[in-house]
């Protein structure tokens, strides 16, 4: 597969839409559609930037999960605290800001930040980092009127129960699964 060209088809407030033209293995053209949070000038721009962070946060022996309404699916799901970097903002600064905005919590320690990975590889070139952190403070709501988020801390047993009966985002489900497992590889 060889990418031949990128053509912007629509520019929205938060997402830009593109049609990609590939030469497939048989030498024929294959069209593919994606969205990006950035303007893409050419093939070299695909996946070139980091857009934000997903945060796996613990307080003591509990995992922070958000129960939030997601407009893209029209329902409430369990998710990680996450967000997009603002212009000129570092990943650590984004982590602290998003934690405060979505939960009212204060970042106390960054345990690790993984290299950026693709968030929705089938439909987008968006890349985010996954951060493992410790937090403290009381939960409070600092979200905008366009967000509906209930943050909570959950024990391993509570997380196992949630996984069995509730809907999650993929990353949150994976983080919750490993958190709930005995001998968590996260060291959290």
What string of pLDDT tens digits covers the 188 residues of the chain? 899 999 999 999 989 999 999 999 999 999 999 999 999 999 899 999 899 999 999 999 999 999 999 998 999 999 999 999 999 999 999 999 999 999 999 999 999 999 999 999 999 999 999 999 999 999 998 878 888 999 999 999 999 999 999 999 999 999 999 999 865 555 55
Distance of CA 183 to the CA centre of its chain: 25
Question: Could you tell me the two tokens for 127?
Answer: 């890349």
87 Cβ contact partners less than 8 Å away, ≥ 6 residues apart:
none
Domain identity same for 18 and 104: no
pLDDT at position 88: 94
- Are the C-beta atoms of residues 35 and 123 closer than 8 Å to each other? yes
Rounded distance between C-alpha atoms, residue 104 and residue 11, angstroms: 33
pLDDT at position 183: 57
Residue 136 lies in a domain: yes
Residue 114 lies in a domain: yes
Domain identity same for 83 and 111: yes
Rounded to 10 degrees, the C-alpha dihedral 71/75/80/81 comes to: 50
Residue 142 lies in a domain: yes
The domain that contains 156 carries what CATH number?
Answer: 3.90.79.10
Rounded distance between C-alpha atoms, residue 8 and residue 44, angstroms: 15
Domain identity same for 148 and 61: yes
Domain identity same for 140 and 104: yes
Q: Which domain holds residue 13?
A: 2-45
Rounded distance between C-alpha atoms, residue 186 and residue 188, angstroms: 5
Alpha-helical (H) ranges within the chain are: 91-103, 156-165, 170-180
pLDDT at position 123: 94
Rounded distance between C-alpha atoms, residue 180 and residue 167, angstroms: 16
Domain identity same for 123 and 174: yes
In the chain, the N- to C-terminal Cα span, in Å, equals 41
Residue 27 lies in a domain: yes
Residue 99 lies in a domain: yes
Identify the helix (H) or strand (E) that includes residue 92: helix 91-103
Domain identity same for 105 and 173: yes
Domain identity same for 137 and 115: yes
Question: Domain count of the chain?
Answer: 2
The residue ranges of DSSP E strands in 71-160, in sequence order, are 75-79, 81-84, 106-113, 117-118, 127-136, 149-154
Residue 185 lies in a domain: no
């Amino acid at each position: 597969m060889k990418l031949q060209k990128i053509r912007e088809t629509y520019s929205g407030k938060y997402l830009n839409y593109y049609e990609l033209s590939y030469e497939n293995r048989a030498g024929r053209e294959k069209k593919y559609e994606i969205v990006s949070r950035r303007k893409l000038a050419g093939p070299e721009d695909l996946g070139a930037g980091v857009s934000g962070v997903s945060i796996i946060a613990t307080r003591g022996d509990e995992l922070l999960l958000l129960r939030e309404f997601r407009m893209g699916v029209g329902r409430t799901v369990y998710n990680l605290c996450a967000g997009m970097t603002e212009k000129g903002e570092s990943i650590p600064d984004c982590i602290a800001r998003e934690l405060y905005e979505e939960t009212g919590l204060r970042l106390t320690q960054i345990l690790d930040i993984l290299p950026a990975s693709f968030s929705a590889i089938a439909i987008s070139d968006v890349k985010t980092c996954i951060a493992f952190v410790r937090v403290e403070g009381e939960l409070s709501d600092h979200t905008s009127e366009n967000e509906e988020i209930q943050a909570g801390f959950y024990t391993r047993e509570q997380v196992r129960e949630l996984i069995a009966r509730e809907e999650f985002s993929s990353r949150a489900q994976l983080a919750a699964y490993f958190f709930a497992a005995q001998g968590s590889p996260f060291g959290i």
